[in-house]
Each structure stands twice: as C-alpha cells, then as structure tokens.
Amino acid sequence: MPSTKAPEDAYTAEPFVPQGAGLDELRRAAAGCRGCPLHRDATRTVFGAGDEHARVMFVGEQPGDQEDRQGRPFVGPAGKLLDRALAEAGIDPGEAYVTNAVKHFKFTRAGPGERRVHKSPTRRETTACGPWLAAELALVRPELVVVLGATAGKALLGPSFRVTQVRGTVLEEEIHGRPERLVPTVHPSSVLRADDREAAYRGLVSDLEVAARALG
Ligand code: URA
Ligand code: SF4
C-alpha cells in the first residue's frame, strides 16, 4: 500500500499562504495551516500581533503554553519580562509587531499533572513555517527586526547564526529578497532560566537599547 505520510522534507506552509493578502487575511489563513505536524497537538495557530505599520518587528521562537491558550504571542512569563525590558529600553510596545519563527506550540507532557513542557522546534519545522514570517516581513516592512534568541536567528539568518557573537549589534542582511536591519539578542525565556537573572536581564535591556538607538 502506498504510504499516505508525506516525506518530512515536504513540510511547508507555502500552499497555505494566500498571495497578495493583507495581514487579517494572512492571519485567518494561518489558522488553518497544516504545513507541518505541529498543528496536530497545539490548540491553535498563534500568528503575529501588533501594528501593521510598526517600525520594529520582534521575532521569537514559538508560542508557549499561555500563548497557545490565548492565541497571542508573548502574553506569558517571557512576554511579561520582554515588556518590562522594552519599557526600560524606551521602546513602545504599542509601536511594535510581535511574532514567532514557528506559529504552533511544540511541547511534551512531563511531571505529575502532565504539564505541557516547551520543546524546541527542529530546523525542518522552522523552515516549514518560514513562509508565514516572510509574508509578515513583506507586509509590515519594519525598519528594524529584533531577533529574540537562536531559533529566530537561525530561521532568519541561517544555521551558522550564533547569538553570543552578534547580540547587541546592528546587522544588515538580505532576507527573503529584502534588505533588513536586525538587532539580535537573547530570548527572554533564557533570562528567566539564567543563574544570574539580574545580569542576564541587564544584558537584554542593553541590547534593546541598541535597537532603540538604531530606530532613532
Ligand atoms: N516565547 C516565544 O518565543 N514566543 C512567545 O510568543 C512566547 C514565548
Ligand atoms: Fe503551519 Fe507553522 Fe503551524 Fe507548522 S508550525 S502547521 S508550518 S503554522
């Protein structure tokens, strides 16, 4: 019997992304994406949110437990920390568009209560989800992209991206055929996990200050 399972390298959101669509239409289409297996266990697609004309776009990894429940990016603990850091760096969250490299929550169940524990997406999954991020970039056309952590960095800049090497600097790269300015920093979740949280938080704020200055 022929296998009905698509080969893994066929994972892609591409056929689900409507051409020439606005942000609302994209968001509606993304709700039905089956471009990779992550839609099966997650509750819903968590598409980007914020001002369509935002000057700055933040790209995280993937929605977490709270984002999966609420359907909006960065509303859980990492998002709260990011909001605080943005305020300190002088970036108005109201002027930002916030999204993720991967639009479905990937998790395993662990511990007493079978809590849903974040699991990192594979390169295949971030690549599959890339057409959504490309469409968001093409529509919002931000002046600056803030790259939050390694997964977002690799999704946008390729597998050789190392956050420790480029954090807090302004990069100029062509991404999906458009010249972009980017400031990479650590993922806010890594601050929550750090042994020295205060030092990690100060590092995040200082990178975001670079982004604020680049925005002028
Ligand atoms: N972490 C992310 O990368 N994105 C979210 O939306 C929430 C937590
Ligand atoms: Fe589609 Fe991305 Fe969800 Fe995979 S993670 S199903 S590519 S929206």
State the amino acid at position 195 in one-letter form: D
Question: Which atom in ligand 2 lies closest to the alpha carbon of residue 131?
Answer: 7
Ligand that comes closest to the CA of residue 10: 2
Domains of the chain, each with CATH number or no CATH: 14-215 (3.40.470.10)
* DSSP summary character for residue 39: G
State the amino acid at position 66 in one-letter form: Q
Task: Collapse the DSSP code of 61 into the 3-class scheme (helix H, G, I; strand E, B; otherwise coil) and give the result.
Answer: coil
- Rounded CA-CA distance 70/62 in Å is 14
Distance (angstroms) between ligand 1 centre and the Cα of 22 equals 23
Span 20-63, pLDDT tens digits: 999 999 999 999 999 999 999 999 999 999 999 999 999 999 99
What pTM was estimated for this model as a whole? 0.95
Q: Are 73 and 189 in contact (CB under 8 A)?
A: no
At 66, list the tokens. Answer: 């709270």
Bridge-partner residues for 172, per DSSP?
Answer: 181
Give the H/E segment covering residue 108: strand 107-110
Span 128-172, pLDDT tens digits: 999 999 999 999 999 999 999 999 999 999 999 999 999 999 999
Distance (angstroms) between ligand 1 centre and the Cα of 5 equals 29
The best mutation among 61, 66, 190 to test binding of ligand 1, ranked by most ligand atoms within 8 Å of the C-beta, falls on 61
Q: Token pair 């970039």 is at which residue? A: 137
